[in-house]
Chains A and B, each alone.
Chain A
């Protein structure tokens, strides 16, 4: 409850002076500035090195969190796309008049409940699907390539796939239905593995960030031990002393966290362009999109970066309080 009281009693009107570097803070209107001299000097807390270290760790944390979020979003989009479509395959060997059979099957499928759209693929379309493996060759026309019908299903009211499958087998010879379940399972496994790997990296970055902040904050507290002692000897209680330090560490955490988050946001904005440049044109925007979604964070993604700033600032604040308590414990 003490921490909540401290948040309530915090001089929020002076927050800007805590967030800005001393030179800029001095240019703020007088009403936003604290009239009394700082008991704990900013320079003893927010050294450039400490700010840079925390900013870098925040940047890495935002980058990892954003990447995990992006992979997860992309994976969900993939799974959603393929789960809303099934494919019907017609064996070309046993079909005397394949085009007629295509029409009959397509009509049959269109009549089924829960089917939104039926799109029979032409022989050329089917041949094109094989081009990435066999290349452009006239020999493709001579091959007995299976004909495909793409069926878009209503995901809110999906059809009974097993019933359609049995009906197709009973009514048409050499017709099979693929509901992509195997592929979906493989993609789910792949994306889940990628997300887990991302989370593992995120955990490592989070632990490293926490360790760096704690270590840096402790160092700053040690260098300010003399101030803590004097405040203790003039009768300041633990709450007063920790608040004097917390306001600096909160400012430091928010400032460094924001620097890291803004840098990460810029990196995410530039990611698609960078990938295009690195790919030398071979990696097209469409391919990038297929791999990592749009390559840009959506609003939720940016909110995650804001969350990182909040966590980093809170961590700085809490660590400084624990540091004060630790120093004060060395007295009676």
Chain B
């Protein structure tokens, strides 16, 4: 599904943030991506999401060489990936429901076809009573859950999450992890970037550990 071959990345003429990163992500797998702050976790996620180009090496996403894809081709692949940002990236002028429905709208689906699905998912993540609320009145944890719901609503083949439980209490964190596991059981590959060892302890999943730009799989 995902293949990195000797990938290196540097910003401008600065030092390499990632060095000779090589790994595979198989369909239906579950990975944690961890490492100290500044190790390059977010950068690696951005490479996975094709919003950065590597300085060297090859990246294959869903069997396609990303370097050879057009902008349209990359957009098509992005629709098969769900991403949860550390800073949520919700649109302030849209309600929680509209934010979560955005990927489906972008796919060109009709509102009548997904109205119930979006509402059900929001209830599942504990935002059933915040459907019509705007992001500015949501707490950090609620925003996090809305962002996760937006990432998974389109049933992505790959889910990338950057510190998805960073702003929620342990109970909600466990519930979100269950959501990720459930999605994984349904066939979605999941990569969660996290510092939260408690979260990683709950699941026996391979860990991609970044240290000084080098990746080790444990």
8 A Cβ contacts from A176-226 to B: 226
The reply to whether B72 and A237 form a contact with Cβ atoms under 8 Å apart is yes
A331 interface residue (CB < 8 Å to B): yes
B interface, how many residues as a size bin?
A: 20 to 34
Whole-angstrom distance between the alpha carbons of A332 and B67 in the complex?
9
The reply to whether B83 and A236 form a contact with Cβ atoms under 8 Å apart is no
8 A Cβ contacts from B69-102 to A: 71-72, 74-76, 78-81, 83, 85, 89-91, 93-95, 98, 102
The reply to whether A35 and B111 form a contact with Cβ atoms under 8 Å apart is yes
Whole-angstrom distance between the alpha carbons of A39 and B99 in the complex?
9
The reply to whether A328 and B111 form a contact with Cβ atoms under 8 Å apart is no
Residue of A nearest to B111 (CB): A36
**The residue from A35, A37, A229, A240 contacting B94, defined by CB atoms under 8 A apart:** A37
The reply to whether A229 and B98 form a contact with Cβ atoms under 8 Å apart is no
List, in ascending order, chain B residues with CB within 8 A of A235's CB. Answer: 75-76, 78-81, 103, 106-107, 154
B50 interface residue (CB < 8 Å to A): yes
Q: A233 and B89 in contact (CB under 8 A), knowing A35-B111, A37-B95, A39-B102?
A: yes
B51 interface residue (CB < 8 Å to A): yes
**The residue from A35, A227, A230, A328 contacting B71, defined by CB atoms under 8 A apart:** A328
The reply to whether B74 and A233 form a contact with Cβ atoms under 8 Å apart is no
The reply to whether A37 and B98 form a contact with Cβ atoms under 8 Å apart is yes
B49 interface residue (CB < 8 Å to A): yes
Residue of B nearest to A325 (CB): B71
Q: A41 and B93 in contact (CB under 8 A), knowing A233-B49, A238-B75, A332-B52?
A: yes
Residue of A nearest to B72 (CB): A237
The reply to whether A332 and B74 form a contact with Cβ atoms under 8 Å apart is yes
Residue of B nearest to A233 (CB): B83
List, in ascending order, chain B residues with CB within 8 A of A38's CB. Answer: 93
Whole-angstrom distance between the alpha carbons of A37 and B100 in the complex?
13
**The residue from B71, B93, B150 contacting A234, defined by CB atoms under 8 A apart:** B150
List, in ascending order, chain B residues with CB within 8 A of A145's CB. Answer: none
Q: A39 and B94 in contact (CB under 8 A), knowing A233-B49, A233-B89, A237-B75?
A: yes
Contacts A39-B94, A235-B78 known; list 12 others, CB within 8 Å: A39-B91, A39-B102, A41-B93, A226-B91, A230-B89, A230-B102, A232-B75, A233-B85, A235-B75, A235-B80, A238-B71, A332-B50
B130 interface residue (CB < 8 Å to A): no
Shortest CB-to-CB span from A79 to chain B, Å, is 56
Shortest CB-to-CB span from B66 to chain A, Å, is 8
B53 interface residue (CB < 8 Å to A): yes
List, in ascending order, chain A residues with CB within 8 A of B56's CB. Answer: none
Shortest CB-to-CB span from B128 to chain A, Å, is 20
List, in ascending order, chain A residues with CB within 8 A of B76's CB. Answer: 235, 237
Whole-angstrom distance between the alpha carbons of A22 and B93 in the complex?
14
B123 interface residue (CB < 8 Å to A): no
Residue among A38, A233, A238, A240 having the largest count of chain B Cβ atoms under 10 Å? A233
Whole-angstrom distance between the alpha carbons of A332 and B55 in the complex?
11
A248-280: CB near B (< 8 Å → 1, else 0) gives: 000000000000000000000000000000000
List, in ascending order, chain B residues with CB within 8 A of A230's CB. Answer: 89-91, 102
Shortest CB-to-CB span from B79 to chain A, Å, is 3
List, in ascending order, chain B residues with CB within 8 A of A328's CB. Answer: 71
Shortest CB-to-CB span from A327 to chain B, Å, is 12
Residue of A nearest to B47 (CB): A332
B105 interface residue (CB < 8 Å to A): yes
Shortest CB-to-CB span from B165 to chain A, Å, is 20
The reply to whether B89 and A229 form a contact with Cβ atoms under 8 Å apart is yes
The reply to whether B72 and A234 form a contact with Cβ atoms under 8 Å apart is no
A150 interface residue (CB < 8 Å to B): no
**19 A-B interface contacts by CB (under 8 A):** A37-B98, A39-B91, A39-B102, A44-B93, A226-B89, A226-B91, A230-B102, A232-B51, A232-B75, A234-B102, A235-B76, A235-B80, A237-B75, A237-B76, A331-B51, A331-B52, A332-B53, A332-B66, A332-B74
The reply to whether B71 and A233 form a contact with Cβ atoms under 8 Å apart is no
**The residue from B72, B78, B105, B150 contacting A36, defined by CB atoms under 8 A apart:** B105
Residue of A nearest to B66 (CB): A332
Whole-angstrom distance between the alpha carbons of A38 and B98 in the complex?
10
Residue of B nearest to A35 (CB): B111
Residue of A nearest to B97 (CB): A37
Residue of B nearest to A41 (CB): B93
List, in ascending order, chain B residues with CB within 8 A of A226's CB. Answer: 89, 91
The reply to whether B75 and A236 form a contact with Cβ atoms under 8 Å apart is yes
List, in ascending order, chain B residues with CB within 8 A of A238's CB. Answer: 71-72, 75
List, in ascending order, chain B residues with CB within 8 A of A236's CB. Answer: 75, 106
